[in-house]
Structures are given as C-alpha cells and as structure tokens.
Structure 1
Amino acid sequence: MSTTPPAIAPIKGRGAASQVVGRFEVTSAHAEDDGWGSLHARAEEDPSPHPDTRVREERARSVVSRNDSPDISFSQSVNPYRGCEHGCVYCFARPSHAYLNLSPGLDFETQLFAKTNAAERLRAEFARPKYRCAPIALGINTDAYQPIERRYRITRSLIEVMAECLHPFSLITKNAMVLRDLDLLAPLAAQRLVTVYFSVTTLDNRLSARMEPRASAPHARLRAMRQLAEAGVPVGVMVAPVVPMVNDRELEAILEAAHDAGARAAGYVLLRLPHELKAIWQEWLQLHYPERAGHVMSLVRQMRGGKDYDSAFGKRMRGEGPFADLLAARFRKAHRRLGFGRLPPLDCDRFVPPAKDASQGRLF
C-alpha cells in the first residue's frame, strides 16, 4: 500500500484548492499518513470536497476606509462584505483574511462576513459635522455584488443612503447583479453621481470558470454593461488582472468587446501577488497549467524586478521591464484606436447631510 498523501486537486466552484496558512499564524497543521493509508481512505470517501459558504453577520463600528495612495484614483471606499464568494484565485484582497485568523485560501471564499449595519454607519458618517464629501468607491476590497448580496441587500441599502444624501460614488464589479439596482443608478447617473466599472479578465468561459468560478460569465458582464450604458449610466472596463501567457493575448479583444457594449473608459492592472497570494496563485497554476507554470512565473518575476511581487507605488499596477512595456504599448494603441476617453467627473456639490433623527430628542 502506498503511503504517499493524496495530491491537492481543483475544487469545482472554488478558486483556491487548499487552506494556505495565514502569515500571522503561530502554528500550522500538516497531514501525514501514519502508514495505514488513513489519508487515502478519507480521500476515497470524499474525493472531491465541496466546502459550503458560511456567512457571519457583524456590526461594524465604521465602514468608510480612507487612503492616500498616489496610484489610486479614490480616497474613500466602502466594503459591505469581508471575503468574497466569487473565488477569484488572483484576488489581491485574499491576504486580508489573515487578519481574521482565517486562511487567504479557501476560507476567503467560504468564510464570509456581512456588515449588516453598514447603511446605518454610512449615514452616521455623512452626518458628522466635519465630514467632507469626496467620491466613494463601493466594493473595492471585495465585490459589492457577490452572490450573498441577493440575500443581504447591503449594497442596495448603501446606494439608498447615497441617493438620499446625493453623495457621488463609483462601483466596480464582476457581477451582472448590478442590474438589479438600475432603478437607483439611472437617476443618480443623470445627476452625475455614479459611474460603474466592470472588471473583465477573459472572454473565454472555460478560463473564467477556473479563475473566477462564481463571478458572472464574461458575456453576462458585457450584457449588463450594455444595459447600463443604454440607461445612461457611465460605464468603464478594467482588464484585470493581466497575466502573461494566461490571458494577456486577450487584451485588445476585451477592450473591443467592452467598447462595443458601451464602455467609454478603460484601464488594466497587472497580476499582483502580495503575501500569501503567491502560494495560492502558484498552486492554481500547477493544477491547471502545469506545462507553462514555470514560464508564467518567470515572466511575472521579470516584470517585478526578479521577485514575485513589488508593492512600490507606480510599479505595483503596471510592472516594469520589456514585457510590461509591451503590454503598456499594446494597451495605449488599442485605447487610442477604439476612442476610449474618461468618464464624466462625479459631482460633489450636490451633497446634503442626512436629516437628524427627530426621535432621538434633545438633552436641553
């Protein structure tokens, strides 16, 4: 009887294939066969595990995050959820789950947190006397329209607060569920209070199912993009992430399809591999593209100064070196040929703080 532990295999409907240990963990568990074939027995009983999605409701103390990063176009963001069921294997936000003593691997896409009081906290933030209106990016760290939004509707409640206060915001999503809120988005767009970006990684349904298993299919995103544009909502596209020898050949095709669907602004982001994401990504490569895994990582390192990742501002989104320069040149050429520009600026002058709660009464 063989005593070699069973190999990790892809899990249908999930991006990660294992529980990569978080960087703050003091101890880690590793299964070893005892010579009696126990690991093999468990693998034969459940050769294809399907971990359930579990959602914990939490009461947030605040929901507005702020940054002053020079290579990010927004200074404020709101994330209705922690973790993301879309399961995008390349997601730069995966390492944030390590702060919760959870794995950036499978836990990130199966152990989710819903900020059920997010709308209440956002209204309280807007009511602060010192609050200064600046566009809010909704759903940056994790997708605001991931599947559990159908049940919790937290994103919609946040948009309702934005509409009540005439506060400008932008959305970026991989999910066609954004169309559910078109009744709110279209009137806000008419007042220059909202823009929507779609993240499109590939036009290949099979590749999309492997890389981002629970996000909307590429054609569904393009269809949603078209419907929003036809309703007057300014729409853009982000080709993200661009991965050498995996989806980089689709750069021009994605831009063309998005422009045809109504997108009028475009950008791209190179694959980013901070912290534990390096291990998650390389595990995925070995499982799905073992014959080219070494070549892919060689090109990634060439664009990252010889490392798996360089977090320096100005480099982390675009990389450096000949291959990165070629991607930038291809993007500029397609951007110019298709006539992409910029979306209309959002209007901060309409903002009206929420009315005070009359039921609270006065002390004096």
Structure 2
Amino acid sequence: MTKRTGTAAPAALTTRALNRAFLDRQLLLRRTRMSPADAVEHLVGVHAQVPKVPYYALHARLAGFRPEELSDLLASRRTARIALHRSTLHLVTARDCLALRPLLQELQERRFRGSFRKRAEGVDLVRLAEVSRALVEERPLTFSELGTALAEHWPDRDRLTLSMAARALLPLVQVPPRGLWGQGGLARHTTVEQWLGEASGAPSAEALEAMLERYLAAFGPASVRDMQIWCGLTRLREVVDRMRPRLRTFRDDRGGELYDVPDGPLPDPETPAPVRFLPEFDNLFLSHHDRTRVVADDFRDRTWKGNQAFPVFLVDGFIRGVWRIEQERAGAVSVLVVEPFVRVSSAEHEGVEAEGARLLAFAAPGAAHEVRVAGSGR
C-alpha cells in the first residue's frame, strides 16, 4: 500500500493485484452480512436494465440474501430504479437517487442530443418538460403512453423522440411492480419528486468528487478513463487533479496512472477467490475501460453479442465462461448449463458445481436441480 511521497514513482500493481482489490471491494472475495440496502449503496448502484439482474448480483455478494428483501425495499420506496451511470437503468437507494441523478443530468441530455438532435429541432424543450411532468405525475406512464400523450401537443413529431426527450429532461423513476422479484409489469415512470416525495439537490463540485471517491472505494484503483466509462461523464481529468492531494496513486502493468482512496483494501494477489456466478450486465465488467483486471482480452467478445451481455462466471477471480438456466420436464427440473471458455480442472469443477447448486437453490427453489458443465467429461 505504498503512498506517493515527494517525487518517488508510484507503486506498480499487477493485473492479479488489481483483480483481488476489485473483487474485495465488489464483495466477491467472500459473501458479506451487509444488508441489501447497504450493499446497493456501497456499490454506488446495481445495474438494473434487466429486472432480475440486481437480485442475482446481490445473491453473489451477500450471505443469507433473500430476494424478498430487495423487493420490499423497492416497493416501500427505499430504493428506486432510474437512469444513471452511462444513462442506463440502475437500482439505487432513495438517498442516492436524490444525490446522484443531478450529477448525471448533463449525460442524459448529451445522450439524447446525440440520437435525436435533428428530430427534436424546433421543439420547446422547457415546455415539453413541463407537460411531461404533469402527465407522469398524474399517473405513471410507459414511454409509449407518454409519447402518445405528448404527440397531442406536438403532432408533427414522432412519439419516440418526444418520450426520450422527457426521459432526458426529467428524473424519471421506473415504478413497481416492474422490478419486483417474481412479478412482471410494464415499465411505467413518474418523477423522483412524485415517487420519493422529495426533490433532488443541485449538482456541485463537492458532490461530484464525493461520487468519484465512492467509485474508487467500490471499483478502484482506477484511471480517469475508467471513471468516465463507469459513469458516462467526460472531462473528469481536471476533477481528479483537484482530488489528487487526498488520493494515492499507482501504476498498472502498462504504465497507466491509477487513483485510489487512502484506505482502499489491497489484498494479497494470491488470496483465494471463490467461484461466483454473475448476471448479465453486472457492473463488475462494465465499469472500467481496461477490463483485463477481470476478463482476458481473448474472452471479452465472448461475453457479448451485439448489445446483449451474457451471464458469466468467475474462476480464480476472472471471467471463465458463460451460463444459463434451462427448464426441463415442464419446469420440474432446472438445469444450470455452464459453458467454460477453457476446460476447467477437477478442483475448479468442484467449485463450479457447488456454487452452481447454490445458484439453482436461489433461482428455482421449487424444482429439481442439475448442473451441467460443458466439456467437463463428467
């Protein structure tokens, strides 16, 4: 844990050292007894574009986690689902919903302009935001419903452009039953103010720096480019330069500069890392520019197809393959199909089977279970 002093060069961290630090901060070296709300806040939000993802993400990280606990948090408005980092849907605590959304407002508007600038030319966006707020605060609406209602005011514009403008301009939360465990529902939205009964604060330099420090505590050590990839904001170099006096610095294997909070854990690189099954879009593999700390370059493309990510599993701390759950015999049997990118050893196979059985007990408690590891010869 060398701290930079004087002109001494910062300590170098190997890929394996970064991996173990990352896993420890992501609660993946060992399951913790942390509450679901505290875990969601520690992780600065959990990716929630797919409703089931937060549940599988917390199952991999928390001891004794029950999905009903997270559903209760969402139904009672102690957590919320809202577009945040990278302008994608995340599940966050109510406190973070209010604190983080203003910091990422510029990102939401920039992403909208990048896709809809020409189609929105001539639209009074201030009025559109006012009309949209009134509509979704009267009752939560899907984006299709909102677009149809807005088209009554702007009949010469397409509904998608109008609804996406509202999404960018307003802090819209996606309300239950969407996102509840074992339940379905259309993606309907209302404002943060209507849902939480409190308005978001104004963005500030201090709040932005606090968000980046929290990122480092949960994802670091990391580069400026890593931070930008995680949240979607740009021009963070000057922000990090202001923070530099209270951060420690390192170098990675390639000579890149990494930043870290002073008390961020750096476990021994040889610390054992258990097998873990993670859902698609887990922030573990979305939150760095250099993802080699968790997935080899040769395997990176095999975790994605187009815009679709696949659920992955970790062996010795690194992504080793993908998985899926299939139902057989009319749902009476749930089969975990594990597809390694390279053959797993006998010792690793035991870990995969044990953790796979735990995953099935969580995902399909009422069915018979089977774990099939492709190419295992077993």
- Common fold, TM-score beyond 0.5? no
TM-score (norm 1): 0.26
Question: Going by fraction, where is helix more abundant, 1 or 2?
Answer: 2
TM-score after normalising by structure 2: 0.25
Greater share of residues in strand? 2
